[in-house]
Structure 1
Amino acid sequence: MASACRILVQCDWQLALRETDGKAWIALQDLSDTSAKPTLRGQLINCGTSSAGLPYVEGNNGFSVKNISKESLHVCYNDASNQSTTSEMTFQSTTGNFASIHDKKKSVICLDATDGGLGMSSSSDGKFKVWQTDTGEVRRDLVGHIGDVYTCRFFPSGIVALSGGADLRLKVWSIETGKCAATFLGHKGAVLDTAIVERGRNIVSCSRDGTAKLWDCSQQMCLDTFEGMAGNINGISVGVTENSFDLGHPENPPGEKEVLTEGKMLLMACENNTLLSYGLQSRKKIFQYDCSDAVNCCTFLSENIVVCGAQNGKLSIIDLRNYNVPLKEMKTSNSAVESLYSHRGGFFTSAHDGSCHYVNNQYDSFLSLTGPDCDPVYRVVCNSSHVFTACRDGNIRKYRLNIP
């Protein structure tokens, strides 16, 4: 797909094209910062049904269908007047839509899922729930936070969870009992994101108070605070870097409660238009990458490569060995990047306009997950078989994981 364009399709295309003569709109949108070109629109039309029950679909105005199945639609655009202007995209529909886990009038704002068949999510009415990923059946109500839960994630064991929210607290939960096992106090603003170090003896959190904190889980004790950042720290990520990368040296030897922080980098996505990097053990600043807008989220793609997403929709892919110049800057949407999730050297990204894309390890976007009708997708996560998204419309959507 051309980096400055994306193809969009009607959010319920799989239903619209099911009937003979059924129609769905299709469009080509220019994503370049300086473009004043209008969006080019066309139609997809069902011209009959095959013996396998699949529709024959034709497009117009330069759009054509290369392949269609019950869950996917592969569309191409070719400009007859300019052969170099070509784009293509595969659209994937849901395999499940969990509409009853949360109130339809409330936004689902955070989400995680395990390979063991459990999902966890919270909504804007303060409800925090554990459910089965195969059926959407709610198994636990996690009660203890006051107000919204902004971040939740499973520990690697899959039977313990970590959350943080508007009440300034971090909580650890037993998924088997639904009880809060520990509460962490120390932030002076809402907790916006967390990261788990290795198996979870240490965790990291970030907040609207402009700090990130390293914690000991066994005693709910803050081991150190990364501070001095202006404004919110919207997201964090902890990753292992290659051995040749200099993460600095701590001024004092780590205490016995600090476990496996050596060789790890802490990334911080900051409201003041910066991506910050610190040595997790050394507490030393490694670099600052300046973005063109507030940075909403960040994640590691490998030992050397990271990505961050900004409020203006820009994705910056950075090689840590040469962090002064981005490896690539791109957009999959003109709307704010809401979340990032690393997968097979590439990543999923969701946006405020309801779009959700996969960007591969060549940094091309070729897959779009459809379903939301312009409602923000606040979170996208994967387990070994499916992708799950959390949306403002109150739905948790489930997609088959079809990344080669």
Structure 2
Amino acid sequence: MVKTVPVCHIQPDFADLIDAEDDGDFYINVDESLEHVKEYRLNTGEHNNFVQIGSKLYSVELDGRKYKFRVKEGNYANVVQDRWTCIDAVDQPTTQFALGDSDGNIRVFDSSPSLQHHIREAHLDEITCLKFFPSGQVLLSGSTDMRLKIWSLADESNPRTFEGHKSQITDACMVERGRNFVSSSQDGTVKLWETGSGLAVHTFFRRENPLDGINTLALNKSSDVVSPRGSNALEFGTEGKTVLAGHNSGVITVYDLFNKNQVTQLPSFFMSSCNTLTRIPNEQNYLYAGYSNGALAQWDLRKPDKPVDHVLINEGISINHIYYHSNALYVSSGVDTAIKLDVQLPEGNIIAEAPTFLVANDCQVAQFVATPNNKSIIAVGNWGLCVRFQC
């Protein structure tokens, strides 16, 4: 039997109404399917089975099913912005958060948060990915303008621009210390770059369909072999690593960064686009993928014929982004839903019972990231959403 997670929405200010101790109603809507929404009205004076079970955490049982709601701790960045599109964090040399927006601008905040850098018109269009180099002094950005750029945070200069993709950039991953990185594009390619020279060391594409657009990347360590260099003088730390690419077709392709070959493919099991990938750090076998039909799947790379576990989050509603942190998957679904699902280790199975809904003002979440102290998750998205939730 397929596990399902009906999408649940609660009135965003419900906690304020409860704290005010005024007698009044608030709503909870459960989207049991695309065609059927069930509305519940609860009274603040009569909590019934709606209870506070922790700091900013509430629980309710509706028709025999349990739901939890996590209220935001507060806004992270109070900046007027139409749409944040991506975020990354680093703890070097101090705690920093980089945010990209739909207009091509980049802002970097400290932990206060105070604005430290504002790189205006960094790209001609939407920023699709941001990655700090491990030093925290350099930032990599990718955009729908088909370019990747390196930014020095010492003076906000752009010492290197990487060109070669023929369509929008969708994702990027650092290889070890960042002497190399990989990027993906809707042109169907993954490129391995050398940062010093700005050269593309190698271009990967799916043999069966070279134009199958790529939405997302994940880097994996496939063995215990460690080498400072790859097969090319412009490679550093590629040996023993694979890159996984999620395609528009729903196929996930695995490439060996060192040997430059296509290792295997995970099939288009759900017949819908693979939008997002995430992995458990230091666990080389398990991979989680989110699809446009609402499926969230756990794959075991040792058994690539079909997923070992999957759930449907309101079937038909697209999964936008998934992020693994501290035994949980943070999931953005559709235009207004953010969910935390626990993961059972060591098996890695997804626990669909009693999901925790992150109350994000009914905004679409573009990305999540953990704060470097691992105490909170920051979500960014539409309508200037930039909020912090306790882990």
Unaligned runs of at least 5 residues, structure 2: 345-349
Match of residue 299, structure 1, among 264, 278, 281: 278
Indicate the residue corresponding to 2:386 in structure 1: 396
Task: Report the AA paired with residue 277 of structure 2.
Answer: C
Match of residue 319, structure 2, among 312, 316, 337: 337
Question: What RMSD, in angstroms, separates the aligned Cα atoms of the two structures?
Answer: 2.3
Quote how far apart the aligned CAs of 1:73 are. Answer: 0.9
Indicate the residue corresponding to 1:42 in structure 2: 40
Quote how far apart the aligned CAs of 1:331 are. Answer: 2.6
CA distance in 2, matches of 1:294, 1:213: 21
Indicate the residue corresponding to 1:75 in structure 2: 60
Indicate the residue corresponding to 1:21 in structure 2: 23
What secondary structure is seen at the aligned counterpart in 2 of 1:225? strand
CA distance in 2, matches of 1:96, 1:141: 22
TM-score for the superposition, normalised by structure 2:
0.86
Match of residue 150, structure 1, among 115, 128, 136: 128
| TM-aligned CA distance change 1:220 to 1:204, over 3 Å | same
CA distance in 1, matches of 2:309, 2:286: 11
CA distance in 2, matches of 1:14, 1:122: 30
Match of residue 89, structure 2, among 113, 133, 140: 113
Indicate the residue corresponding to 1:247 in structure 2: none
The structure showing larger relative contact order (alpha-carbon pairs under 8 Å, at least 6 residues apart) is: 2
Task: Report the AA paired with residue 37 of structure 2.
Answer: T
Cα deviations by residue, 1:339-392 (Å, 9 ceiling, x for unpaired): 12121343211122321122222211432211232x321111112222111111
Indicate the residue corresponding to 2:347 in structure 1: none
Moved over 6 A (4+): none
Of the structure 1 ranges 295-304 and 93-102, higher mean CA displacement relative to structure 2 is found in: 93-102
Of the structure 1 ranges 326-335 and 382-391, higher mean CA displacement relative to structure 2 is found in: 326-335
Aligned length: 364
1:377 aligns with 2:368: no
1:322 aligns with 2:303: yes
Equivalent residues of 1:12, 1:370 under 8 A apart: no
Task: Report the AA paired with residue 334 of structure 2.
Answer: H
What secondary structure is seen at the aligned counterpart in 2 of 1:293? coil
Task: Report the AA paired with residue 298 of structure 1.
Answer: L
What secondary structure is seen at the aligned counterpart in 1 of 2:267? strand
CA distance in 2, matches of 1:333, 1:390: 22
TM-score for the superposition, normalised by structure 1:
0.83
What secondary structure is seen at the aligned counterpart in 2 of 1:58? coil
Quote how far apart the aligned CAs of 1:213 are. Answer: 0.0
Task: Report the AA paired with residue 376 of structure 2.
Answer: H
Match of residue 357, structure 2, among 368, 373, 378: 368
Indicate the residue corresponding to 1:274 in structure 2: 251
Task: Report the AA paired with residue 252 of structure 2.
Answer: L
1:182 aligns with 2:183: no
Cα deviations by residue, 1:33-86 (Å, 9 ceiling, x for unpaired): xx97x3333222222xxxxxxxxx524xxxx22434551212223x4xxxxxx3
CA distance in 2, matches of 1:73, 1:117: 30
Match of residue 203, structure 2, among 201, 225, 228: 225
What secondary structure is seen at the aligned counterpart in 1 of 2:44? strand
CA distance in 1, matches of 2:243, 2:306: 19
What secondary structure is seen at the aligned counterpart in 1 of 2:3? coil
Equivalent residues of 2:330, 2:340 under 8 A apart: yes
Quote how far apart the aligned CAs of 1:214 are. Answer: 0.3
Task: Report the AA paired with residue 370 of structure 1.
Answer: V
Equivalent residues of 1:17, 1:45 under 8 A apart: no
CA distance in 2, matches of 1:258, 1:73: 50
Quote how far apart the aligned CAs of 1:242 are. Answer: 5.0
Task: Report the AA paired with residue 361 of structure 1.
Answer: V
| TM-aligned CA distance change 1:161 to 1:238, over 3 Å | same
CA distance in 2, matches of 1:87, 1:107: 34
| TM-aligned CA distance change 1:293 to 1:5, over 3 Å | same
Equivalent residues of 1:102, 1:123 under 8 A apart: no
